[in-house]
Amino acid sequence: MVDRVYNFSPGPATLPVEVLQQASKDVVNFKEMGIGLIEMSHRSKEFMAVTDDAEQLLRELMEIPANYKVLFLQGGASSQFYMIPMNLLGEGKKATYLNTGAWSKKAIKEAKLFGEVDVAFSSEEQTFNRVPKQSEYSVADDSEYLYFVSNNTIYGTQFPEIPVTDKVLISDMSSDILSRKIDVSKFGIIFAGAQKNMGPAGVTIVIIRDDLLEKTPDNTPTMLTYKTHADKGSMFNTPPCFAIYGVGEVLKWLKKQGGVAAIEAINIEKAGILYDCIDSGEYYRGHAEVESRSLMNIPFNLPTPELEAQFIAEAAKVGLNGLKGHRSIGGCRASIYNAFPKEGVEKLVAFMKEFEAANPA
């Protein structure tokens, strides 16, 4: 077997090796049935069990209350940018959004198609280098909900505390779901694309409180109505079977690691190793303000763009892949989701020190 590289990609991201190994078997012969997982009927009792197991594991690991539905949907997290206002807004209604990065900005654009949007905070003028404190914004009295992105992959910021509001709270947790403990009961909707912390690309998880299923306007298309999928257990049409299976396998792995609290401690340790290196001198500079730093995505710069390009190229040669920063801010970025091993962070830090010594500014 070829040695695996350390994959710092922001998504699709690294997966546990044992999950990949199990999937390679199940794609060909699922549970010794003589049929591959991806050729089974989604309505067979065997595959229905796969979906049920994935849902129950997610409920256990996130401590999801009974009055919430778990949906396995298609269309990527980006489809939720319009599904949420389509289901919860309408003419004459308002929602409050916090603009802290590219994904919240896209969500705001979509929401404006369905109702009035109040952008209560924006860090765009500061190149999205921070998230707001609770005291820096207010939610309009007539807002239906408050929407925020918990972690911003491009700019490396993360809400250290969950916003407090008496309105329906909605969060895009695509890049930090299951990475730290949260109280699901504080939210109306949580959604996340799977391809960063939960499994392969292709399925989007939506956790929605039951009462919100009844708010959808009558003229909403059937496939874009949450209740359609809630009533049919995400089986209204053929779901993304392999991606759901992959989520279930990653959740089994996460449970074996000790669950969310255990992985949160590991995530804090991993990020601390890298931030300590960045903060140890002037050669490397982090993008996000310290109080807003992400545990999942860590963008940083070197003294010049030329050194950054050299750094990325030389890192790849020693098995440190996917370190190129997003085109909107350039530089470098290390994405270190749940399944990314601590050893990979330590190897990156050792390389950073060697590179600085060999290439002084």
Catalytic hit among 26, 172, 253, 270: 172
Q: Is 324 a catalytic residue?
A: no
DSSP string across 88-109: H--TT-EEEEEE-SHHHHHHHH
Q: Which of 180, 170, 214, 173 is nearest to 194 (CA)?
A: 173
C-alpha dihedral sign at 186, 192, 198, 204: positive
What is d(CA 43, CA 49) in angstroms, rounded to the nearest whole number? 10
- What is the SS3 assignment for 153? coil
143: Cβ–Cβ under 8 A, 6 or more apart, which residues? Answer: 94, 95, 96, 118, 167
DSSP string across 190-238: EEEESTTTTSSTT-EEEEEEGGGGG---TTS-GGG-HHHHHHTTT-SS-
- What is the SS3 assignment for 273? helix
86: Cβ–Cβ under 8 A, 6 or more apart, which residues? Answer: 114, 216, 217, 220, 224
Q: Is 353 a catalytic residue?
A: no
Catalytic hit among 69, 167, 196, 227: 196
Cβ 44 vs Cβ 35: under 8 Å: no
Catalytic hit among 26, 103, 227, 324: 103
Helix (H) or strand (E) holding 243: helix 241-256
Looking up tokens 């989701």, which residue turns up? Answer: 337
Q: Is 232 a catalytic residue?
A: no
Q: Among all residues, which ones are annotated catalytic?
A: 103, 172, 196
